[in-house]
């Protein structure tokens, strides 16, 4: 099947099986169960191990190429390439299992250990519980001897928002900084400033009603313009290099553009890649779509370049 036909096929699957269930009127219990069911039919690459662990008090899984040790206590931890991956799901659904097609392909391509915390979800655990869990997971990696110059923070959608919030907390606490931030279709503006200017008919997956419900469930009355909620409105000075990937057919495309503009305002090293005909987190189809494989390849090259440049002064360290 040609690439264009594959793209149309996967867009159709999203519109038929995911978009109608992702958001109101369905309760989050139904949405969570449905997305886990859909994830169970995803094809995963071979020679990848998935191991349940705990990162301090946070349940998680580590996705690793089988030839690499999964031990967190090896003497060479400081040399291991690590990705702390924060899954998306509008802050209210999904789990490490639903994103395995992405995390497994990331592990295969980057030859990294990919840690995926099962952070607490709203509405049961509203803002900032998820941020606290992601920060705890990062601190656990440091406590296990992993070198921050080999750690990348990555995430998609709401997970991209959590990447930015975690990076801001790391900067605030003056912790050793990760080497890079990878943001896949980041939801970085919970004020929903594009709500009345972009029709959700263009998006094969997302609906504005879903995002509105997510903001209500996650923030529960708190200000959506808070820096830890909307990083595209935050002070982004002294953050690590950033790669932003987004599809051209997303209702939150402007979130990525605004985040990139904000990063450039603060003179950050930030790259924005807009994939034509791409939809929300199309990287989940890695191994099946050339476009998705190209995006994973770009992430690998970006991380490798950041690690190669790791002798440069740490951009998060206060002078």
Evaluate whether residue 313 is within a structural domain: no
Pick the closest to residue 138 from 178, 108, 101 (CA basis): 178
Instruction: Dump pLDDT digits (tens) for 97-132.
Output: 999 999 999 999 999 999 999 999 999 999 999 999
Active site residues: 157, 250, 280
**Which pTM does this prediction carry?**
0.95
- Place 310 in a pLDDT band, splitting at 50, 70 and 90: confident
Instruction: Dump pLDDT digits (tens) for 86-99.
Output: 999 999 999 999 99
Instruction: Dump pLDDT digits (tens) for 125-171.
Output: 999 999 999 999 999 999 999 999 999 999 999 999 999 999 999 99
Evaluate whether residue 14 is within a structural domain: yes
Evaluate whether residue 317 is within a structural domain: no
Pick the closest to residue 185 from 243, 229, 246, 230 (CA basis): 246
Evaluate whether residue 42 is within a structural domain: yes
Domain count, the chain: 1
Evaluate whether residue 316 is within a structural domain: no
CATH number of the domain to which 293 belongs: 3.40.50.1820
The answer to whether residues 292 and 283 touch, using CB atoms and an 8 Å cutoff, is: yes
Domain that holds residue 202: 3-308
- Place 78 in a pLDDT band, splitting at 50, 70 and 90: confident
């Amino acid at each position: 099947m040609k690439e264009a036909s594959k793209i149309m096929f996967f867009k159709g699957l999203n519109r038929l099986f995911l978009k109608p269930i992702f958001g109101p009127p369905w309760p989050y219990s139904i949405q969570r169960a449905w997305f886990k069911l859909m994830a169970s039919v995803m094809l995963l690459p071979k020679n990848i191990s998935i191991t349940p662990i705990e990162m301090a008090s946070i349940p998680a899984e580590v996705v690793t190429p089988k030839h690499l040790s999964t031990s967190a206590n090896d003497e060479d931890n400081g040399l291991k390439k690590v990705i702390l991956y924060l899954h998306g799901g509008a802050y209210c659904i999904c789990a490490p299992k639903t994103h395995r097609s992405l995390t497994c392909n990331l592990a295969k391509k980057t030859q990294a250990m990919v840690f995926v915390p099962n952070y607490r979800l709203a509405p049961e655990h509203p803002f900032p519980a998820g941020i606290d869990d992601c920060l705890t997971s990062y601190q656990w990696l440091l406590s296990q001897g992993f070198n921050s110059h080999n750690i990348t923070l990555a995430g998609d959608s709401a997970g991209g928002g959590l990447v930015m919030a975690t990076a801001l907390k790391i900067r605030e606490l003056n912790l050793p900084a990760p080497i890079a931030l990878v943001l896949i279709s980041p939801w970085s503006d919970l004020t929903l400033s594009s709500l009345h200017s972009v029709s959700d008919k263009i998006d094969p997956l997302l609906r504005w009603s879903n995002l509105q419900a997510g903001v209500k469930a996650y923030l529960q009355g708190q200000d959506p313009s808070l820096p830890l909620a909307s990083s595209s409105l935050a002070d982004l000075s002294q953050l690590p290099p950033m790669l932003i990937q987004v599809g051209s057919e997303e209702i939150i495309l402007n979130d990525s553009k605004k985040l990139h503009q904000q990063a450039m305002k603060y003179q950050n090293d930030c790259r924005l890649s807009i994939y034509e005909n791409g939809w929300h987190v199309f990287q989940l189809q890695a191994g099946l779509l050339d476009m998705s494989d190209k995006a994973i390849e770009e992430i690998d090259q970006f991380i490798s370049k950041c690690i190669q440049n790791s002798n440069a002064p740490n951009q998060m360290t206060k002078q």
